[in-house]
């Protein structure tokens, strides 16, 4: 409606301007025609007068000339014709209506018609025109003297003013009528031709902006707005198809990524198998020995009870080990919870301890005085820590140490990350192994990049880990020195910010 109002307002203003300009030009044209006619009358009359006024004045006298002028004067009700002398002043009867000095300023001494508007003592507006005629007054054949006279025409401007008023009234009536019709017609056309179609287009674009690409806008007609509506419909259909394709590709990508992460977990389980088998060997021997003693029947009731308790303790220990392994390998739905990072680190270290003992590596988790709470998916974070700790164990030839620290630290995200420099939760996994060469350090997070022997790694572990941490709003960093060791750092947003983001 705002656009319609602007169009109607512009149209009305243009109509008013055109009508007003037409009225103004018409008034000027009528006034110019009136003055032009008056000047022509004076010129014609002056030419006639100049030919016979001297003869008439010298032949028949002043009275005859006056009578002739009065006859001419009586023929026009709106003008007054007089003979005036330029060398006399009021109250002389033949003095000009305009004082002689002013007439000379107007150029009356030149043989041309001069005119000007004045207001009489009665308040009437008149137009006075003069044409100078020099006379030679004779007595017999003798020129007695030269005298300056003029034909004075006084036109009553009442008809012209009446015409002006009538033109103004007609112009105002025309403008009012045109204004009324413009408001009605432009209002009707603006609402039906512009406002309603535009409103439909606006509603369609708002729905599209909110994600609703269904429903075509039907404007009818065959104008530019209709073409715009059809183009908008085509755009929404194309966007809908593209959106469906993107959603399908996203779902496929997520499914593939989850499959890769699950495969990575299974590979880790495979690496842990030998260590866990060794870990289960000791409690199985204890269970077997205690069961044999009970079966021999040589134990007293107290020893039987003690052996049963030992069997129960060892079987609980084996069940815990197996359950940890199953929990790690099981495919689960991502779910983020608030948890202490110490708890996740300790569980992961406990799971990997058999593998570390096999290579005579010690895993040390540094406990802080206060918990480090993060809002994470526990299974995904455990997979990341497992990858990093297994890599650390494999980089140590024999008899090394893997240290795990966590806390809060001010950090600046790497280039391309959406986060700001702030305080973040961190987990350091540091080893004293072989280290990573400087030329390889910038490529370790790339998919399928690996420095391990064929069959020992796929090159996806660090890439998947980086993706998991990135989905949590954090990032991974690595620093290393050859023959001295490597430190991987996991950065995660503080728990309070993550929770607000997840709720939103």
Peptide bond into 302 cis (omega under 30): no
133, 166, 199: which is the final residue of a domain?
A: 166
In a domain, 259, yes or no: no
Angle at 423 between CA 420 and CA 426, to 5 degrees: 110
166, 198, 220: which is the final residue of a domain?
A: 166
Structural domain harbouring 404: 336-504
In a domain, 299, yes or no: no
Peptide bond into 163 cis (omega under 30): no
In a domain, 441, yes or no: yes
pLDDT of residue 331: 54
Burial 312-341 (b: 16+ CB within 10 A, else e): eebeebbeebeebbeebeeeeeeebeebbb
* End-to-end CA, the chain: 36
In degrees and rounded to multiples of 5, residue 411 shows phi and psi of -145, 155
pLDDT of residue 202: 81
166, 182, 201: which is the final residue of a domain?
A: 166
pLDDT of residue 403: 94
In a domain, 210, yes or no: no
In a domain, 123, yes or no: yes
Residue whose tokens read 């054949």: 141
Read off the pLDDT of residues 386-401 as tens digits, 9 standing for 90 and up. 889 988 988 888 788 9
pLDDT of residue 406: 92
Show Cβ contacts of residue 366 under 8 Å, excluding neighbours closer than 6 positions. Answer: 403, 404, 405, 406
Check which CATH number belongs to the domain holding 111 and give it.
3.30.450
Q: Residues 62, 63, 66, 68: what is their CA dihedral angle, to the nearest 10 degrees?
A: -110
In a domain, 182, yes or no: no
In a domain, 488, yes or no: yes
The total number of structural domains that make up the chain: 2
In a domain, 252, yes or no: no
Cβ–Cβ < 8 Å for 433, 396 = yes
pLDDT of residue 500: 40
- pLDDT beneath 70, residues of the chain: 1-8, 38-39, 42-43, 45-62, 65, 72-78, 106-111, 137-145, 186, 189-191, 257, 261-282, 321, 323-334, 448-449, 451-460, 496-504
Check which CATH number belongs to the domain holding 408 and give it.
3.30.565.10
Cβ–Cβ < 8 Å for 328, 269 = yes
DSSP alpha helices (H): ranges in 297-362?
301-329, 341-358
């Amino acid at each position: 409606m705002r656009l319609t109002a602007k169009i109607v307002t512009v149209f009305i203003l243009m109509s008013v301007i055109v009508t007003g300009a037409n009225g103004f030009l018409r008034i000027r044209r009528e006034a110019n025609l009136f003055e032009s006619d008056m000047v022509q009358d004076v010129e014609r009359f002056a030419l006639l007068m100049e030919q016979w006024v001297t003869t008439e004045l010298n032949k028949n006298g002043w009275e005859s000339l006056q009578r002739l002028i009065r006859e001419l004067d009586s023929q026009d009700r709106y003008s007054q014709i007089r003979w005036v002398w330029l060398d006399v002043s009021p109250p002389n009867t033949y003095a000009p209506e305009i004082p002689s000095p002013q007439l000379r300023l107007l150029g009356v001494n030149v043989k041309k018609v001069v005119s000007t508007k004045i207001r009489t003592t009665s308040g009437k507006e008149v137009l006075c025109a003069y044409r100078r005629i020099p006379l030679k007054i004779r007595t017999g054949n003798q020129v007695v003297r030269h005298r300056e006279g003029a034909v004075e025409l006084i036109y009553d401007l009442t008809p012209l003013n009446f015409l002006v008023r009538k033109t103004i009234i007609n112009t105002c009536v025309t403008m009012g009528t045109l204004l009324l019709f413009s408001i009605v017609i432009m209002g009707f056309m603006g609402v039906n031709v512009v406002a309603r179609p535009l409103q439909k287009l606006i509603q369609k674009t708002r729905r599209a902006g909110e994600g609703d690409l269904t429903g075509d806008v039907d404007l009818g007609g065959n104008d530019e707005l209709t073409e715009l509506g059809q183009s908008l419909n085509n755009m929404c259909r194309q966007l809908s198809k593209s959106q469906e394709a993107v959603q399908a590709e996203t779902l496929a990508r997520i499914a593939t990524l989850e499959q890769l992460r699950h495969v990575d977990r299974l590979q880790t389980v495979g690496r842990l198998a030998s260590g866990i088998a060794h870990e289960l060997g000791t409690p199985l021997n204890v269970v077997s020995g205690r069961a044999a003693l009970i079966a021999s029947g040589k134990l007293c009731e107290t020893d039987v009870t003690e052996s049963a308790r030992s069997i129960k303790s060892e079987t609980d220990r084996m069940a815990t080990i197996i359950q940890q392994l199953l929990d790690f390998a099981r495919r689960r739905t991502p779910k983020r919870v608030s948890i202490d990072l110490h708890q996740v680190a300790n569980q992961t270290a406990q799971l990997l301890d058999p593998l570390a003992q096999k290579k005579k590596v010690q895993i040390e988790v540094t406990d802080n005085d206060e918990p480090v709470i993060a809002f994470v998916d526990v299974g995904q974070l455990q997979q990341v820590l497992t990858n990093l700790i297994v890599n650390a164990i494999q980089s140590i030839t024999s008899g090394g140490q893997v240290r795990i620290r966590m806390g809060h630290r001010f950090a600046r995200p790497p280039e391309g990350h959406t986060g700001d420099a702030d305080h973040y939760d961190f987990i350091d996994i540091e080893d004293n192994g072989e280290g990573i060469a400087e030329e390889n350090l910038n490529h370790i997070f790339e998919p399928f990049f690996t420095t391990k022997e064929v069959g020992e790694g796929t090159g996806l572990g660090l890439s998947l880990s980086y993706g998991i941490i990135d989905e949590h709003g954090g990032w991974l960093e690595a620093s290393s020195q050859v023959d001295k060791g490597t430190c991987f750092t996991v950065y995660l947003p503080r728990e309070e910010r993550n929770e607000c983001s997840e709720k939103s």
